[in-house]
Amino acid sequence: MARILITSAIPYINGIKHLGNLIGSQLPADLYARYMRARGNEVLFLCATDEHGTPAELAAAKAGKPVAEYCAEMWQVQDRLGKGFRLSFDHFGRSSSPQNHKLTQHFAGKLAEAGLIREVSEKQVYSNADGRFLPDRYIEGTCPNCGYDKARGDQCENCTKQLDPTDLINPRSAISGSTDLEVRETKHLYLRQSAMRDRLREWIDSKTDWPVLTTSIARKWLDDGDGLQDRGITRDLDWGIPVKKGDQDWPGMEGKVFYVWFDAPIEYIACAAEWVDAGKGDDWERWWRTDKGAEDVAYVQFMGKDNVPFHTLSFPSTILGSGEPWKLVDYIKSFNYLNYDGGQFSTSQGRGVFMDQALEILPPDYWRWWLLSHAPETSDSEFTWEAFQQDVNKDLADVLGNFVSRITKFCRSKFGEVVPEGGTYGPQETALIAELQQRLDRYQAHMDAIEVRKAAAELRAIWVAGNEYLQAAGPWTVFKEDPDRAAAITRFALNLIPFYAGLSAPFIPDAAATMAGAMGVEPTWPDSAEAALHALPGGHPFTVPDVLFAKIADEDREEWAARFSGVRT
RNA sequence: GGGCCUGUAGCUCAAUUGGUUAGAGCAGAGCGCUCAUAACGCUUUGGUUGCAGGUUCGAGUCCUGCCGGGCCUACCA
């Protein structure tokens, strides 16, 4: 039995996440967590909301609420939706938790002790009307290069020229539109990542089994230009973790908070502390401190590709630089993006299907299956309503659901709602057991390697094998001359249901529970195909379950396609 | 502009990392079955691997150039 620590990239608090966000980290992380638990491993699966930063403050202001209240409410919404999708977090925390405050301040103190923090005085644009410093992106003006009048302070979207906010003609606040801006001097802390460069490179180079998508992004940052740059880790904001050196004040840093990307990954650790404080566990350090029992933990992170630099460089800088024996990530699984009907999903533009809407129209298993079996592992992938309808109807309703339906109903009509006795397994059953064992081995290998789409394809093939068997064995014909043989075939086919339930549970937990429940058992991972297909003896009662997956009708698809074609208001 | 990823059947994806005749699923066509959610099974049509060169006994895979799509580019997160 292994011990596996799994974290999903923590979703930003600002609004409800869309299906692209879901398949980019939380859903595959959940698949892996469920699988590893089913295999008998000890798993700690953590996620949280990422609550700090300018967008959270602005979203709260727009909602007319204090930011703490806004975040607390949005946490509840995200927690509820996560449960709706059956995300099996051991704890769903908050980066604004007291545990994260303490830990973030602790890390900053340790980094300062190690001489890895330097103070930098810099000039930044301040908006008097908004009462805040403005990040470059929140300053708009006319591009000096092309004359585009909505250029942002970091880059002109029209001509793609990199800009400084001071380059803009007629600069104004993107928040209020105010032109009452001034340049102010402000002091910030920088993490000396440049001093960590060799250690980081050595660490990245040791990760030969990581996907190219992950290591190439890390190397680019290490080597581009003058190499890895120091990074500002504080901001002039109200909402965030106050800058402190451990539990001591930090002279000159009064009123400032840590940058959201500094405290967000630390929440992975703090979340474990929250898990203990919530009474769900009793020792979080054995998951995170290699001097306190975590040396044998395998730590796997899931994230979208845009998150990779922060997980391969920034966060490891924090960990390594602290000089303390914290657990570093062992494997990073990163994902590309899911597009929606020819364009990107967009939270800010309200484009696509969002988690709350998805659950309003269909149960979570439909989404889980489609999204996971089309996970954007090698490149961006695309959601269309036609593909979704077609795939879900075929895979879930026709192949799996109908298999359960046809054999349970056949048995009920010929033998009653009890696994029939009599007859013995013959060559057909032996052959199928051998095939299923091979497929089981492959399925497990794909799941171990976190090859999500390949695992889904193999699972589907396992379902198909049941229909092939029934067609070839034809118990409805055999029954007429040899009821005993028909009983054996039926018994064998009924035994496939709990087998399928166990294997399918990581993908479609609700349907798996229904299938197993109908057969009067719990979904469990099979030791072998041989053992699993002898599990239910003759005489074992069962019930015919309701239709597992109702099909998506053309009218439904058309209605949804129309309903979600515009932008969310 | 720079870096990286990507382009394979109508659609979604494979191809043991340079090795026989490029494979699956869906969709399409034909046949079969009648237990089942008009479901299932079998057979089958379909490819100049974005384009043009090059290296090699051999290229989807490596190199060069071009074309298209994507991500990042350090103060959005």
Q: Is the CB of A464 under 7 A from strand B?
A: yes
Which amino acid, one-letter code, is at A79?
A: D
Gap between the Cα atoms of A86 and A38, Å rounded: 15
- Mean pLDDT across A313-319: 92
Size of chain A, expressed as the number of residues it contains: 569
Instruction: Please give the span between the terminal C-alpha atoms of chain A, in angstroms, as a whole number.
Output: 49
Task: State the nucleotide closest to A414 in CA–C1' terms.
Answer: B35
User: Given pLDDT bands bounded at 50, 70 and 90, which one contains residue A95?
Assistant: very high
Written as one string, the DSSP assignment of A440-487 is: HHHHHHHHHTT-HHHHHHHHHHHHHHHHHHHHHH-HHHHHHH-HHHHH
Q: Is the CB of A391 under 7 A from strand B?
A: yes
Report H helices in A259-401: 260-277, 285-288, 308-309, 315-321, 355-361, 364-373, 385-392
State both tokens at A145.
């290069």
Gap between the Cα atoms of A283 and A276, Å rounded: 7
Q: Is the CB of A378 under 7 A from strand B?
A: yes
- Mean pLDDT across A151-172: 78
Which residues of A in 333-352 have their CB below 7 Å from strand B's atoms? 336-337, 344
- A538-541's contacts with Cβ under 8 Å and 24+ in sequence apart are A538/A419, A538/A420, A538/A421, A538/A422, A538/A487, A538/A491, A539/A418, A539/A419, A539/A421, A540/A418, A540/A419, A541/A417, A541/A418, A541/A419
- Mean pLDDT across A349-362: 89
Gap between the Cα atoms of A367 and A359, Å rounded: 9
User: Given pLDDT bands bounded at 50, 70 and 90, which one contains residue A569?
Assistant: low
The ipTM value here is 0.93
Gap between the Cα atoms of A98 and A143, Å rounded: 43
Q: Is the CB of A54 under 7 A from strand B?
A: yes
- pLDDT of A550-563, one tens digit each? 999 999 999 998 88
Task: State the nucleotide closest to A548 in CA–C1' terms.
Answer: B37
CA A468 to C1' B43, whole Å: 15
CATH superfamily label, A385-532: Isoleucyl-tRNA Synthetase; Domain 1 (1.10.730.10)
- pLDDT of A400-430, one tens digit each? 999 999 999 999 999 999 999 989 999 999 9
CA A220 to C1' B73, whole Å: 10
Q: Is A519's pLDDT higher than 80?
A: yes
Q: Is the CB of A225 under 7 A from strand B?
A: yes
Dihedral sign computed on CA atoms, order A180, A182, A187, A190 = positive
Q: Give the model's pLDDT for residue A281.
A: 95
Whole-number average pLDDT of chain A:
92
Q: Is A151's pLDDT higher than 90?
A: no
- pLDDT of A1-52, one tens digit each? 899 999 999 999 988 999 988 998 999 999 999 999 999 999 999 999 999 9
Q: Is A204's pLDDT higher than 90?
A: no
Gap between the Cα atoms of A281 and A151, Å rounded: 50
Task: State the nucleotide closest to A377 in CA–C1' terms.
Answer: B13
Which residues of A in 154-213 have their CB below 7 Å from strand B's atoms? 154-155, 160, 162, 188, 193, 212-213
CA A221 to C1' B67, whole Å: 29
Gap between the Cα atoms of A398 and A548, Å rounded: 10
Q: Is A86's pLDDT higher than 70?
A: yes
Q: Work out the number of other CB atoms within 10 angstroms of the CB of residue A127.
A: 22
CA A449 to C1' B74, whole Å: 32
Q: Is A399's pLDDT higher than 80?
A: yes
Q: Give the model's pLDDT for residue A160.
A: 66
Gap between the Cα atoms of A488 and A419, Å rounded: 9
What's the DSSP call for residue A241?
P
Q: Give the model's pLDDT for residue A539.
A: 96
Gap between the Cα atoms of A38 and A368, Å rounded: 18
Q: Tell me which nucleotides of strand B come within 7 A of a protein CB.
A: 1-7, 11-14, 24-27, 32-37, 39-42, 69-77
Helix (H) or strand (E) holding A170: strand A169-173
Which amino acid, one-letter code, is at A411?
A: C
| Measured torsion, CA atoms of residues A247, A134, A315, A256, in degrees rounded to the nearest 10 | 0
Gap between the Cα atoms of A107 and A101, Å rounded: 10
Task: State the nucleotide closest to A381 in CA–C1' terms.
Answer: B12
